[in-house]
Chain A
């Protein structure tokens, strides 16, 4: 089987060393002593001092230590590596290691945080919101919060390193193989040419395969380098859940002024993200949050600030979407509230704001699809009728006690997410894709992140075939490793589906033009252009910020059992425009997966599975009813252009629509997720 289909826990060799990370059990302080007497024989210990190169993992302009240099910044920070041929002795050794700490340090909290915990701030402003706020007395103020999200089920993560012909051969399920290589080179103090990185099967993943494989591979390489033996480090599922990637919590304060027609005159929003002890990709996270929060609402006076707060929590690392779902949650709940204040149906209110076809960065998008998407979900969900019916029912209701009549509500959320990076992260490396048309008219595409999903590879073959007039079967996506493939950058943020696809197009267009001028084979490489060079100015936040946008409108209908306060989703209706969709049914499947994940996040569940519901018949039926929230997804039918990401947009709008629906059902403003029965009760009890 190809390496890219094998999981990392399938790689092993006789006599290899098994590794385990010994982690700090305090959240902040200094290691004062490590007592390692009485350890089982054959246990090897590695610490920061054993690193001959630089003890760090660097990502763009940020970094974190590979092994603690004595300082502890979060609970679970790696202090030592222990290694043995027999994995069972590792647990025993870990128990016998005695690490003492100086703990006379105060924790870095998220709420409240001090000013010097702010590691970066991104701000966008238009007009003069401060002046407007001074001159009015009618303002809408609110705060929103989301908590950490983590995932329990992911493919194994780790690294296996061995020496082959004097070079380090590294197997790891990375989404960024060249980062693995550069990290190892730096940690070991060797040249990158001494390292070969082979990608193993990473899926399914939630962002943890972008940087974590580099960390684990550097650790395993350190042991391999210092012992000459093959080494394997695998994280246990619990370790992976706790210490790899989590969705960063956010706290948002929003203040707005509406005019009599219900239009927003001024809007100020301040988002604070808890990025944990070591932030990575901070600038990108903050920029994405600001842009998606500003969204398409044409507000003349606006100020949006996003701040990254360093805390003593384990690093949140890179989670799918980088801050977008949190920002869209707060924005859309807030704007639904504004719609309510303006006494307009939220569907109409949103459509009123799409007229100018601009997004916050000023980019004019004549084909902005939002109005159509809103129309679609509103019609499919029967939104207007339900919204007004639920509104009336709620207003008529005196008491819910002792009746089991469900409280029903419906909510809508709209917005966009971006595909590709806003800025190409500051790196001196060119990320690109290569293509070669050989004498037999066979095209070979070389992409450094070869674990790109099969569905996307199929799209490349189809497009390349169309451009060059050859059969898709004549197109091959090369397999290989860092020795043979070009550096294509990290696979994240919709890069494969949009950015790499556009590179494949550009390579093929070049070949098509040269085909009858030049002898075959024709080789070409195309690099990812910084969006900056074309239409995007990050300093002034103007232009088209991403390679493409994915748009969506989502309606969620809920009912709340007044006795148990357990919310149930009665339906989700979603319409997306993610550019050109090749396989609609497959796209729908991906979107549905994202929607169920978002519902789980919103309800504080690990997952949304079919569940048994009583229909509250006290007699009669044979079995309780097994239900799964019904989900309907449609895609706008784009005939041409680039495909766009589906995951992020499908995940990002559901929580806001869910919370808005629950607010309508109960008449209480909910402003956080997750919302479970206990949190709902606490809101209902609060004096309004």
Chain B
């Protein structure tokens, strides 16, 4: 096997230059995802050009303002948890905790988790409903996009040639009900793995904002805006009629998902949503079943 050419830029300018010159290069940071994709005990199968970007200080920064938290794309997951555990939204930190185990979280980066080409991993759902924005840079330009815009409607990467994720900005908004659950390992059991993320703001018994997202096998993501509109503005607890309406709306969105998502997974998602709707309440600190 012929050796790949590996570039290890140490500044963002060097990265921009190199990527412009070799836009076909594979961008690699923590390398955990690629290692888990390439099953087997052989050497890595790498393309001719590799851009290893884990030592660029600009991509390793975490900063915080009054309005948002900003994380460089190459910050390892464990460092985000260390720094942001108590200030970041729980729906996001729970998603980070559920990424594999400490050794993987010490290597894997947020950019890698969010931007994985063929799988929507743990942080995709939470960052979608948190309205996180992602900075994409390439030589001569930069732009901020919402998380779902990282991919096309069919789930293909939507980054332009020579473009890479540089920062992720997570706004601070008060969500008094947050929920995240992941089932199964998206690498070893992709067919039965899913994530469920939910955010609700309740004020004086009224839902002022409501967002949910599911991610399934591979590229399938479901965020149902109609459902969110339906629920927003309603009083908690939701009436039975309202829940039935919501269920039916969500059910039809689920059925429109591509065939790779099994009926079993869709049924699970529907049950989880039903439960979540029935559990919405005026925030307290009590255990809620």
* A and B, direct touch (CB closer than 8 Å): yes
Q: Is the CB of A236 within 8 A of B41?
A: yes
* Complex: A473 Cα to B37 Cα, angstroms: 52
Q: Is the CB of B178 within 8 A of A619?
A: yes
Q: Is the CB of A566 within 8 A of B275?
A: no
Q: At the interface, yes or no: B90 with Cβ under 8 Å from chain A?
A: yes
Interface residues of B in 83-104 (CB under 8 A from A): 85-86, 90, 93-94, 97-98, 101
Q: Is the CB of A404 within 8 A of B275?
A: yes
Interface residues of A in 635-688 (CB under 8 A from B): 676-678, 681
Determine the chain B residues whose CB is within 8 A of the CB of A616 once the complex forms: 279, 288-289
Q: Nearest chain A CB to B18's CB is how many angstroms away?
A: 30
Q: Nearest chain A CB to B278's CB is how many angstroms away?
A: 5
Q: At the interface, yes or no: B272 with Cβ under 8 Å from chain A?
A: yes
Q: Is the CB of A619 within 8 A of B283?
A: yes
Q: At the interface, yes or no: A622 with Cβ under 8 Å from chain B?
A: yes
Stretch at the interface among A120-128, A491-499, A557-565, A578-586: A557-565
Q: Nearest chain A CB to B259's CB is how many angstroms away?
A: 17
* Complex: A459 Cα to B187 Cα, angstroms: 44
Known: A401-B271, A618-B179. A676 touches B94 (CB 8 A): no
Interface residues of B in 154-183 (CB under 8 A from A): 176-181, 183
Determine the chain B residues whose CB is within 8 A of the CB of A612 once the complex forms: 97-98
Closest residue to A681 on the B side, CB-wise? B264
Known: A402-B271, A624-B94, A681-B267. A676 touches B41 (CB 8 A): no
Q: Is the CB of B264 within 8 A of A562?
A: no
Known: A563-B272, A564-B183, A676-B192. A619 touches B285 (CB 8 A): yes
Determine the chain B residues whose CB is within 8 A of the CB of A609 once the complex forms: 101
Determine the chain B residues whose CB is within 8 A of the CB of A469 once the complex forms: none
* Complex: A681 Cα to B192 Cα, angstroms: 12
Interface residues of A in 395-425 (CB under 8 A from B): 401-405
Q: At the interface, yes or no: A623 with Cβ under 8 Å from chain B?
A: yes
Interface residues of A in 605-629 (CB under 8 A from B): 606, 609, 612, 614-624
One of B268, B272, B289 near A405 (C-beta < 8 A): B289
Q: Is the CB of B86 within 8 A of A622?
A: yes
Number of interface residues of B (CB under 8 A): 41
Determine the chain A residues whose CB is within 8 A of the CB of B264 once the complex forms: 677-678, 681
* Complex: A467 Cα to B113 Cα, angstroms: 63
The A/B interface has a contact count, at CB < 8 Å, of 84
Determine the chain B residues whose CB is within 8 A of the CB of A236 once the complex forms: 40-41
Closest residue to B95 on the A side, CB-wise? A624
Q: Nearest chain A CB to B80's CB is how many angstroms away?
A: 13
Q: At the interface, yes or no: A237 with Cβ under 8 Å from chain B?
A: yes
Determine the chain A residues whose CB is within 8 A of the CB of B97 once the complex forms: 612, 623-624
* Complex: A612 Cα to B184 Cα, angstroms: 11
* Complex: A401 Cα to B277 Cα, angstroms: 12
Q: At the interface, yes or no: A167 with Cβ under 8 Å from chain B?
A: no
Q: Is the CB of B192 within 8 A of A620?
A: no
Q: Mark A237-261, 1 if CB is under 8 A from B, else 0.
A: 1100000000000000000000000
Q: Is the CB of B272 within 8 A of A238?
A: no
Q: Nearest chain A CB to B200's CB is how many angstroms away?
A: 8
Known: A564-B183, A623-B93. A238 touches B287 (CB 8 A): no
Q: Is the CB of A403 within 8 A of B275?
A: yes
Q: At the interface, yes or no: B208 with Cβ under 8 Å from chain A?
A: no
* Complex: A562 Cα to B86 Cα, angstroms: 31
Q: At the interface, yes or no: B274 with Cβ under 8 Å from chain A?
A: yes
Interface residues of A in 379-404 (CB under 8 A from B): 401-404
Known: A236-B41, A405-B289, A612-B97. A563 touches B178 (CB 8 A): no
One of B178, B188, B192 near A678 (C-beta < 8 A): B192
One of A401, A564, A676 near B268 (C-beta < 8 A): A564
Q: Is the CB of B40 within 8 A of A564?
A: no
Known: A618-B279, A678-B192. A402 touches B288 (CB 8 A): no
One of A566, A606, A615 near B183 (C-beta < 8 A): A566
Interface residues of B in 203-243 (CB under 8 A from A): 243
Q: Nearest chain B CB to A112's CB is how many angstroms away?
A: 27
Number of interface residues of A (CB under 8 A): 32
Interface residues of A in 185-239 (CB under 8 A from B): 236-238
Q: Nearest chain B CB to A90's CB is how many angstroms away?
A: 12
* Complex: A28 Cα to B59 Cα, angstroms: 55
Q: Which of A237, A565, A618, A677 has the most CB of B within 10 A?
A: A618
Known: A614-B94, A616-B288, A616-B289. A622 touches B85 (CB 8 A): yes
Determine the chain A residues whose CB is within 8 A of the CB of B90 once the complex forms: 621-622
Main secondary structure of the interface of A (DSSP, over half): loop
One of B41, B192, B284 near A238 (C-beta < 8 A): B41
* Complex: A337 Cα to B59 Cα, angstroms: 60
Q: Is the CB of B271 within 8 A of A563?
A: yes
Closest residue to B179 on the A side, CB-wise? A618
Determine the chain B residues whose CB is within 8 A of the CB of A563 once the complex forms: 268, 271-272, 275
Q: Nearest chain A CB to B236's CB is how many angstroms away?
A: 11
Closest residue to B94 on the A side, CB-wise? A624
Q: Is the CB of A402 within 8 A of B178?
A: no
Determine the chain B residues whose CB is within 8 A of the CB of A678 once the complex forms: 192, 264
Determine the chain A residues whose CB is within 8 A of the CB of B41 once the complex forms: 236-238
Determine the chain A residues whose CB is within 8 A of the CB of B42 once the complex forms: 91
Known: A237-B41, A402-B271, A564-B183. A617 touches B287 (CB 8 A): yes
One of B85, B183, B267, B274 near A402 (C-beta < 8 A): B274
Q: Is the CB of B283 within 8 A of A565?
A: no
Closest residue to A604 on the B side, CB-wise? B189
* Complex: A236 Cα to B41 Cα, angstroms: 7
Q: Which of B41, B271, B274 has the most CB of A within 10 A?
A: B271
Q: Mark A267-301, 1 if CB is under 8 A from B, else 0.
A: 00000000000000000000000000000000000
* Complex: A395 Cα to B230 Cα, angstroms: 37
Q: Which of A91, A237, A619 has the most CB of B within 10 A?
A: A619
Q: Is the CB of B192 within 8 A of A677?
A: yes
Q: Is the CB of B285 within 8 A of A620?
A: yes
Q: Nearest chain A CB to B115's CB is how many angstroms away?
A: 23
Determine the chain A residues whose CB is within 8 A of the CB of B40 once the complex forms: 236, 238
Closest residue to B176 on the A side, CB-wise? A619
Q: Is the CB of A564 within 8 A of B283?
A: no
* Complex: A421 Cα to B278 Cα, angstroms: 59
Closest residue to A609 on the B side, CB-wise? B101
Q: Is the CB of B288 within 8 A of A618?
A: yes
* Complex: A402 Cα to B272 Cα, angstroms: 8
Q: Nearest chain B CB to A240's CB is how many angstroms away?
A: 10
Known: A238-B40, A565-B268, A622-B85. A404 touches B289 (CB 8 A): yes
Determine the chain A residues whose CB is within 8 A of the CB of B179 once the complex forms: 614, 618
* Complex: A564 Cα to B278 Cα, angstroms: 16
Determine the chain A residues whose CB is within 8 A of the CB of B280 once the complex forms: 618
Q: Nearest chain B CB to A43's CB is how many angstroms away?
A: 17
Q: Mark B252-289, 1 if CB is under 8 A from A, else 0.
A: 00000000000010011001101110111101110111
Q: Nearest chain A CB to B242's CB is how many angstroms away?
A: 13
* Complex: A616 Cα to B284 Cα, angstroms: 14
Interface residues of B in 27-61 (CB under 8 A from A): 40-42
Determine the chain B residues whose CB is within 8 A of the CB of A238 once the complex forms: 40-41
One of A404, A566, A614 near B279 (C-beta < 8 A): A404
Q: Which of B192, B280, B283, B285 has the most CB of A within 10 A?
A: B192
Closest residue to A91 on the B side, CB-wise? B42
* Complex: A623 Cα to B274 Cα, angstroms: 24
Closest residue to B202 on the A side, CB-wise? A619
Determine the chain B residues whose CB is within 8 A of the CB of A676 once the complex forms: 192
Q: Nearest chain A CB to B15's CB is how many angstroms away?
A: 33
Known: A404-B289, A563-B275. A618 touches B180 (CB 8 A): no
11 A-B contact pairs sorted by A residue (CB < 8 Å) = A401-B274, A402-B243, A402-B271, A404-B289, A566-B183, A614-B181, A616-B288, A619-B178, A622-B86, A677-B268, A678-B192
A-B pairs with lowest CB-CB distance, top 7: A563-B271, A402-B274, A618-B177, A618-B179, A404-B275, A236-B41, A402-B278
Contacts A237-B41, A676-B192 known; list 13 others, CB within 8 Å: A402-B271, A403-B289, A404-B279, A404-B289, A563-B268, A564-B183, A606-B188, A618-B200, A618-B280, A620-B285, A622-B85, A623-B94, A677-B264
